[in-house]
Amino acid sequence: MTKLFHSFSLLILVSLFVLSINAYANANEQKIIPQAEQTYYDVETGETITNIYAITEDGYKEISFETFKQIREEGKLNSNELETQRVANESPLLKDKTLKEPYISTFALISNYVQTSYSDNWYNETNKVTNNFSCPANGAGCSVMANYSLTKTEQFTAGMDSTYKSIIKGAVSFSWISSASVSSSYRLDLKPGQTGYINFMPAYRYTSGKLTVYSSIPWSTEKIYEGPAFGASPRKLSTGELEGIVWGVVS
């Protein structure tokens, strides 16, 4: 009876070990994106792109080309707003702002940031994350497991003082992330004579509004900055990975 119990216990342990290995393998397989047969011609860039995947809490999820274009277009609208802010900041409301900035380190600040625009998923830039891969013209085709990695950091209105950045970060309602990274693989299938590479578009949380800052000195309160302000925080998954969209480009 004792031998039977020991044999049964050993069988359970072996089974659990095998299941653990399979679970680990499946988790790793999620990091490898298989190249399917879908390709799209992107009129905007003049490129032929392969299957598009969003990196989500549930792993890699394929999205349609139409969804991809919509996400990209929404990012452009916010980027146009940033350009308007950049032009506005070239002619600051307070011409002598730079003369008053030394007060920042000496006296208390009274600040007010009013958010007028927010996006929970903002995509505004495409990053080429691998070198070019080439497939010989006289072969039968190539399958390349392309490893890529990328780190993105917070963004703010161009030329903004670090003190003002801290004010915006402390005023938003979401948890601010300063940087996030991704490292993964994408299987790129190339036909004879083709070249290809991988692109990645990171996701951000975006806030835009008006920032007003006063310096509180013993004998008066002075306005030292007033103008439009913008901040963007890279989105990070619970796994610690940078959230975003990945796809291949072939030619």
pLDDT of residue 16: 38
Predicted pLDDT at 84? 59
The answer as to whether 72 is a domain residue is yes
Residue 13 within any structural domain of the chain: no
Query: pLDDT band for position 206 (50/70/90)?
Result: confident
Q: Is pLDDT at 179 greater than 80 in this prediction?
A: yes
Q: Mean pLDDT over residues 65-69, rounded?
A: 92
The single-letter DSSP state of residue 105 is G
Is residue 107 exposed (0-12), middle (13-18) or buried (19+ Cβ within 10 Å)? middle
Residue 163 counted as domain residue: yes
Range of the domain at 195: 32-92+119-210+225-250
How many whole angstroms separate alpha carbon 41 and alpha carbon 135? Answer: 20
Is 14 a domain residue? no
How many domains is the chain built from?
A: 1
Domain contains 149: yes
Residue 46 in domain = yes
Inside any domain, residue 215:
no
For the chain, the average pLDDT equals: 75
Which residue, among 151, 150, 164, has the nearest Cα to 231 in the 3D structure? 164
| pLDDT at 224 (0 to 100) | 74
**Is there a domain that residue 99 lies in?**
no
